[in-house]
C-alpha cells in the first residue's frame, strides 16, 4: 500500500468546511448555540515573525474532518455523545478577517465578535493564531459587567510590559489582563523552562496576586491544588496555550518545551473547572501546523476542543 488509508471514507464522513461538520454561523446577532468556534488567525504579531500561526484554525478543522459523520457517536472523553439529548450544539463562526499591518483593527474585530457572541449567551471558543488574540477577547468580557477568574494553561507566564517595542503581543497577555478591572483572579498553570519573561516579571505577577502552579508542580502534586483555587461563584475564562502540553502531545506549536501536561490532564482541568464554576470564554492559541508531526498535534488539539464543546453544552444544560 503506497498511501495512507482514508479514515474519513472508512467512517462515512462527508466534506465539511466547518469544525466537526457543525452548522456554520456568520450572523452573530442570530447565533443559537452552546458555544462557538471562532478562528482568529492574527491579532498583534511581532515584526520578527509576523502572523506565524495564521493557519492554526484551518488545521484543526481539517484534522477532525474524518469525524463529521460521527458527531452523534459515543465520545469516551465525555461518557456519552459530544452533544447529548437536551443540549445545544456548538457552531462554527469561521475565521475573522485580519490585516498583516493594522493590528488595532485586528483587535477591534476580535473584541466586537466576542462581545456580540457573549451578549447572545454563547460561550466563545477563540482559536488562534498566536497568544496575542486573548487580549481583545479579555477586554470584551469587561462589557458584561461581571468579574472573572482567568485560568491560564501555558508554558510561559506572559507578564512582559513590552517585547520588541510591542505591548499588546503574546509575551504580555497576562500583564494586560491584570490591568483590566473585571479580572479579579489569575491562576497560571504549567510554566516551565526558559521563556521571554524576566524574574522581575514573575515577581510582579506574584505581587499582583497570581497563583502559580508550574509544570513540575502538576506532575508531583496533581491537579487538586489548582482546582482548590476555583470557587463556585467564579466566572472562568480558560486561556489555553497549547505549548502547555508536552511536545509529544502537541508538537504543532512554536514554543515546544519538555515536561508539559498530557491530554487527560488538560481535559480533566477543563472538566473539573466546569463542575466547580461557570466557563464564560475559552481560547486555544499558538497552533502552528507547519511545526506539526504527521498531524498528531492537530488531532489532539481538535479532539480537546470538541470535548470542551461537549463540556460547555452539558454545563449550560445543567447535566454535568
Contact yes or no for 252/278 (Cβ under 8 A): no
* Cα first-last separation, the chain: 45
- Residues contacting 9, CB < 8 A, separation 6+: none
CA 167 to chain centre: 21
Whole-number Å distance between alpha carbons of 133 and 233? 26
Residue 9: is its pLDDT beyond 70? no
pLDDT of residue 14: 65
Query: Are the C-beta atoms of 295 and 250 separated by less than 8 Å?
Result: no
d(CA 123, CA 47): 32
Residue 16 above 60 pLDDT?
A: yes
Q: Quick one: fold of 32-316? A: 3.40.800
**pLDDT higher than threshold 60 for residue 1:** no
What span, in angstroms and rounded, lies between the C-alpha atoms of 46 and 166?
A: 7
Q: How confident is the model over 259-282, as a mean pLDDT?
A: 98
Beta carbons within 10 angstroms of residue 116's beta carbon? 17
What mean pLDDT do residues 233-240 have? 97
Residue 5 has what pLDDT? 72
User: pLDDT at residue 22 above 80?
Assistant: yes
* Confidence at 60, pLDDT banded by 50, 70, 90: very high
1-6 long-range contacts, CB within 8 A, separation 24+: none
What mean pLDDT value characterizes the chain?
Answer: 95
The number of CA neighbours under 13 Å toward the Cβ of 133 is: 36
Determine the pLDDT at residue 2. Answer: 59
CA distance linking residue 125 with residue 134, whole number of Å: 11
Beta bridge partners of 236: 149, 279
Measured CA to CA in angstroms, residue 89 lies from 37, 80, 136, 306 at distances of: 11, 14, 25, 11
pLDDT tens-digit map of 113-166:
999 999 999 999 999 999 999 999 999 999 999 999 999 999 999 999 999 999
- pLDDT tens figures, 69-107: 889 999 999 999 999 999 999 999 999 999 999 999 999
From edge to edge, which strands make up the β-sheet containing 211-213? 91-95, 35-40, 123-128, 278-285, 235-241, 148-153, 183-189, 211-213
pLDDT in tens, 171-194: 999 999 999 999 999 999 999 999
Cβ 36 vs Cβ 26: under 8 Å: no
Looking at the predicted structure, is the pLDDT value of residue 112 above 70?
yes
Give the pLDDT score at 13.
62
When pLDDT is averaged across residues 219-237 and rounded to a whole number, the result is 97
**What integer is the mean pLDDT of 57-71?**
93
Domains of the chain by residue range: 32-316
Question: How confident is the model at residue 115, as a pLDDT?
Answer: 98
Amino acid at each position: 500500500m503506497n498511501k495512507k488509508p482514508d479514515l474519513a471514507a472508512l467512517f462515512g464522513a462527508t466534506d465539511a468546511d466547518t469544525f466537526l461538520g457543525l452548522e456554520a454561523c456568520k450572523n452573530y446577532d442570530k447565533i443559537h448555540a452552546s458555544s462557538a468556534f471562532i478562528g482568529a488567525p492574527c491579532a498583534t504579531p511581532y515584526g520578527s515573525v509576523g502572523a506565524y500561526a495564521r493557519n492554526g484554525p484551518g488545521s484543526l478543522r481539517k484534522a477532525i474532518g474524518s469525524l463529521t459523520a460521527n458527531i452523534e457517536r459515543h465520545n469516551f472523553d465525555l461518557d456519552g455523545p459530544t452533544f447529548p439529548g437536551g443540549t445545544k450544539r456548538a457552531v462554527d463562526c469561521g475565521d475573522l478577517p485580519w490585516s498583516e499591518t493594522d493590528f488595532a483593527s485586528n483587535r477591534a474585530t476580535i473584541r466586537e465578535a466576542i462581545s456580540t457572541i457573549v451578549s447572545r449567551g454563547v460561550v466563545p471558543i477563540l482559536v488562534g493564531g498566536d497568544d496575542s488574540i486573548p487580549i481583545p477577547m479579555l477586554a470584551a468580557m469587561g462589557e458584561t459587567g461581571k468579574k472573572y477568574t482567568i485560568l491560564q494553561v501555558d508554558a510561559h507566564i506572559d507578564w512582559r510590559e513590552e517585547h520588541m517595542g510591542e505591548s499588546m503581543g503574546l509575551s504580555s497577555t497576562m500583564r494586560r489582563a491584570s490591568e483590566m478591572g473585571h479580572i479579579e483572579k489569575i491562576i497560571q498553570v504549567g510554566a516551565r523552562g526558559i521563556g521571554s519573561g524576566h524574574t522581575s516579571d514573575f515577581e510582579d505577577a506574584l505581587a499582583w496576586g497570581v497563583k502559580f502552579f508550574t509544570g513540575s508542580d502538576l506532575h508531583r502534586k496533581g491537579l487538586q491544588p489548582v482546582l482548590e483555587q476555583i470557587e463556585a461563584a467564579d466566572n472562568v475564562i480558560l486561556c489555553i496555550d497549547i505549548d502547555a502540553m508536552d511536545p509529544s502531545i502537541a508538537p504543532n506549536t512554536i514554543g515546544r518545551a519538555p515536561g508539559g501536561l498530557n491530554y487527560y490532564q488538560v481535559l480533566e482541568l477543563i472538566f473539573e473547572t466546569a463542575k466547580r464554576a461557570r466557563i464564560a470564554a475559552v481560547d486555544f492559541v499558538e497552533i502552528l501546523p507547519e511545526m506539526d508531526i504527521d498531524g498528531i498535534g492537530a488531532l489532539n488539539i481538535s479532539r480537546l476542543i470538541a470535548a470542551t464543546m461537549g463540556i460547555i453544552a452539558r454545563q449550560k444544560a445543567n447535566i454535568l
